[in-house]
Amino acid sequence: ITGKEFVENLDLELSRKNMTRAELCRKVGIGKSSFRNWLVHNNLPKIEIITAIAQVLAVPVGLICPDLDDAPTPRNLMQSIEN
């Protein structure tokens, strides 16, 4: 998935949740310029940011970033280390 596709997925989910990009950025704790950076540089944010975005939107990570559908989240990694 490219940065552009990631932003398209986010925008679709944001419209479903009736949330703005600015609101999402505030809730996740990232700058409003993040969307522009992902589009211009065609890259993805760190997994921690993707996970935080999915949590704020209350959706599975794979919905906004299909490449990470089965990727371990930081929480899953910590749980596996503890066990």
Query: Which pLDDT belongs to residue 66?
Result: 83
Of 79, 81, 80, 59, give the one whose Cα is nearest residue 68.
59
Residue 76 has pLDDT above 90, yes or no: no
CA dihedral (76, 38, 67, 16) in degrees, to 10, reads 80
Mean pLDDT of 67-80: 55
Residue 77 has pLDDT above 90, yes or no: no
The pLDDT tens digits of the residues spanning 14-62 come to 999 999 999 999 999 999 899 889 988 888 999 999 999 999 999 999 8
Predicted TM-score of the model (pTM): 0.77
Structure tokens at 20: 């703005």
